Amino acid sequence: MKCKAIQSLLATLLWAASAFSSAFAAHPSSADFAFGLVLEPEGPGAVYQVTPPDEVYRRVTRPDLGDIRVFNANGEPVPHALRRPDPAEAGEEPPWISLPFFPLFQAPSEGGGDVWLQIITDDTGAILRTRPKNRGEADIPGAYLVDAGKLAEPPNALRLDWTQSGDSLVARVSVSAGRDLDEWVTLVPSTTLVRLRYGEHRLSRQTIQLPRTRARYLRISWPEAARSARVTAVEARGVSKSDRSARRYVQIAGHSTEAEKPAFEFEAEGRFPADEVTVLLTEPNSLIQGALFSRPREEAEWRFRARGLFHHLVVEDTELVGDPVSIPIVSDRYWRLEIESEDSGLGGSPPVLKLGYIPHELLFLARGAGPFTLAFGSYQAEPAAAPVNPLLQMVNRKDRGGLIQRASTGEMIPLAGADALIPPPPPLPWKRYLLWGVLILGVAAVGWMARGLYRQMQSTSNGDSEPPR
């Protein structure tokens, strides 16, 4: 039954491909595009999927990637569709999951010695409760025991929350893992947790990155210097099922601008569909409050994208850099960072903007003979919209493994070259010229009529002044 469904979908695609050819016969040829990439299928198939490289985003002229086509060996355009991967397929991080945790107490005089604790578990190994051995009021948590048994996948990060009495906390901790509660292996020898407050500014670092491990129990050391703080929550995030290399990054150097408030502008050499932005401050111990704007063209208005506290601090030999800021997907080329705090510590070096994006997936129907070429970069091409595009999307959801095959990109070849990237001259405003021509002819006609009327009046006036005979 599955084969019949695939055959039905394939027949529908082939029919739509014929309609595509006739409906888009007037579309540009490969000679109208700047560059091309040879597409190399990894196996026989009817529909292929390929991920465009960065060079495609650098050369396209339209933010909607409308100047992209796929051609077969005969130079005919074949149906294609562009889509963004599903978040889970693109390697988006899974949600945070709350884990049970238990403080392991020690006497202050013991320093980093053994903890005083009895641990009670059930038959499955889940920790039911803990009981300290003769713990006095002065005892403090020397570590926290975390039960990660409820996770379906090994964790790749922990996130802690805690209460503290003062404005600032800097705690250097380590993380160990154990399959049982007797033997422990160090996963993270040293990392720093931070929560600082200065005026209206807040800065925190609550996440601990972990190497991949299948140990059930985790133990987080807690220094005596942080005795005023108590952990109130421990969350874990599992390992993503797909490859995180799907996300790409591009860095853009900035330059200062003359404006009422300090600002920096950036130009991305391409139209990358960014969904996160990181402001990298090049000088250590820099802290700014800023707002991010972007626009697709130089003459367009700036549009607000995000606001945040961006920093680059060094605390106890630990470098703290601000996390990425999530934004709606935008392919703008021009960016602007406005400094909003008057007491910002930026230093003399301009910041760097780091754009993060997930590349599209390009699906195309293998109609005609190969090899196939991905052509891109043209100011003349318009978006190719055809009924076959939704069909390609439907096939992708219906049967990814049975019908769709992967393809890779080969060498880049010049087609029309960089000339195809030059905007054509604006068309002549014929309507305006015609209107002015009609107005000029009308004025001329009125003038000619006025001149004739004037001569007639002059003639009549001269005739009336002659004496009678």
Q: Does the fold of domain 248-357 match that of domain 96-238?
A: yes
Pick from 2, 13, 4, 3: which is nearest to 395 by CA?
13
247/143 Cα distance (integer angstroms): 35
Query: Would you call 215 helix, strand, or coil by DSSP?
Result: coil
27/76 Cα distance (integer angstroms): 10
What ranges do the domains of the chain cover?
2-81+361-421, 96-238, 248-357
Contact 308/322 with Cβ under 8 angstroms? yes
228/232 Cα distance (integer angstroms): 13
Predicted confidence at residue 295, as pLDDT, reads: 94
φ, ψ at 231 (rounded to 5°): -70, 130
The three-state DSSP-derived secondary structure of 71-134 is: ECCCCCECCEEEECCCCCCCCCCCCEEECCEEEEEECHHHCCCCCECEEEECCCCCEEEEECCC
Burial string for 76-93 (b: 16+ CB within 10 Å, else e) reads bbbbbbbeebeeeebbbe
DSSP 200: T
Contacts of 169 (CB under 8 A, 6+ apart): 162, 193, 194, 195, 196, 226, 228, 229
103/195 Cα distance (integer angstroms): 20
Predicted confidence at residue 47, as pLDDT, reads: 84
Q: What are the CA-CA distances from residue 332 to residues 54, 61, 65, 263, 412 (Å)?
A: 15, 11, 12, 18, 25
Q: What are the CA-CA distances from residue 430 to residues 111, 149, 275, 425, 443 (Å)?
A: 87, 74, 42, 14, 20
Predicted confidence at residue 322, as pLDDT, reads: 77
Predicted confidence at residue 14, as pLDDT, reads: 46
Task: Assess whether the previous peptide bond of 371 is cis (omega < 30° from 0).
Answer: yes
Predicted confidence at residue 380, as pLDDT, reads: 80
pLDDT by residue for the chain (469 residues), tens only, comes to 445 554 454 445 444 444 444 444 346 788 889 899 999 887 777 788 899 999 999 999 888 888 899 999 898 888 888 887 765 555 556 788 999 998 887 655 444 444 445 555 555 555 555 555 555 544 678 889 998 888 877 788 899 999 887 778 888 899 998 888 778 888 888 888 888 876 677 788 899 988 877 788 899 998 887 877 889 999 998 765 444 457 899 999 988 887 677 889 999 989 999 999 999 888 888 888 889 999 998 899 999 999 888 888 776 666 777 778 888 999 999 999 998 876 666 767 889 999 999 899 888 888 888 789 999 988 887 776 554 555 555 555 545 555 778 888 888 888 988 777 776 666 666 677 777 777 888 777 777 887 777 777 777 766 655 555 4
Predicted confidence at residue 202, as pLDDT, reads: 75
Predicted confidence at residue 462, as pLDDT, reads: 63
313/323 Cα distance (integer angstroms): 13
Name the CATH architecture for the domain at 248-357.
Sandwich (2.60)
Two tokens, residue 177: 């893992």
Q: What is the CATH number of domain 96-238?
A: 2.60.120
Predicted confidence at residue 395, as pLDDT, reads: 57
First CA to last CA distance, the chain: 117
